[in-house]
Amino acid sequence: MDVSGREVGEILGLGQSQTTRLLASGLAGPGHRRGRSVLYDAAAVAALRDRPLVTEETPLPPACGDGVLLARVDPRGAEPGAWRELASGPWRLAFSRVLVLLVMRSTGPVPLVATVAGFVLGGAEVIDGRHTPEATTFELAEPGDWFDAFSDTRVPAGPGEPLLFWRCRWSAPMGHRRTTGLPVLGPVPPRHLRPVRPARPRATAG
């Protein structure tokens, strides 16, 4: 049984733009034309629908303790399976190297998960990077065992920047709003970054 692109979006609960990017990634199959419509494999779409979620509450391996770099790629116009090239950049995000290298220096390579419309395409580790005023690119290596927690899952990180730290334990300097997905934006000098401390319980009257 085959389904149309519109039906893929309805089954997965995606908007039109998200559906277009997902179909371009090949996760729903290559698609084949029937008349004026392009149809996709219903079994592949059902497998996507049934993927387990990795959420804020999901336990992660120790290698992800400082956070995970989510590369939310747009595969439209790219070759099938080109997520690694897309995830390596160039990212037009000023001083993104600052936060990435901060985590790299403290814990080693940075876990990176490439997604499209929240569905995981693959994983890698950022082992180096190159930054210019125009763009930042990453040197990627194969992921460690930590990626088992993300393989064939869905990460509903919500709206935000294309490249962000998810479940990051570092806070932004004063004047920058702290978010669960910390955008990799700058300039953020490392000396102004500090681990997030648990909030103290408020005293109650009575």
pLDDT tens digits, 34-71: 777 789 889 999 999 999 999 989 999 999 888 888 99
Mean pLDDT of the chain: 78
> What number of helices (H) and strands (E) belong to the chain?
5, 11
Contact 2/45 with Cβ under 8 angstroms? Answer: no
> Is 56 inside any structural domain?
no
% residues pLDDT > 90 (the chain): 41
- Give the pLDDT score at 192: 32
User: What does the pLDDT read at residue 116?
Assistant: 95
3-state secondary structure 111-150: EEEEEECCEEEEEEEEEEEEECCCCEEEEEECCCHHHHHC
Whether residues 30 and 104 share a domain: the answer is: no
Question: What domain range is 26 assigned to?
Answer: 2-49
Same domain, yes or no: 143 and 84:
yes
pLDDT range class, residue 9, cuts 50, 70, 90: very high
Mean pLDDT of 143-147: 96
In this structure, are 24 and 87 located in the same domain?
no
**Predicted pLDDT at 18:** 93
Which residues, 6+ apart, have CB-to-CB distance to 53 below 8 Å? 153, 154, 155, 156
The answer to whether the pTM exceeds 0.75 is: yes
Residues 86 and 180 in one domain: yes
Mark whether 68 and 128 lie in a shared domain. Answer: yes
Number of domains in the chain: 2
Residue 118: partners with Cβ closer than 8 Å, 6 or more residues away = 18, 154, 155, 156, 157
Of 181 and 47, more confident: 47
The pLDDT of residue 100 is 56
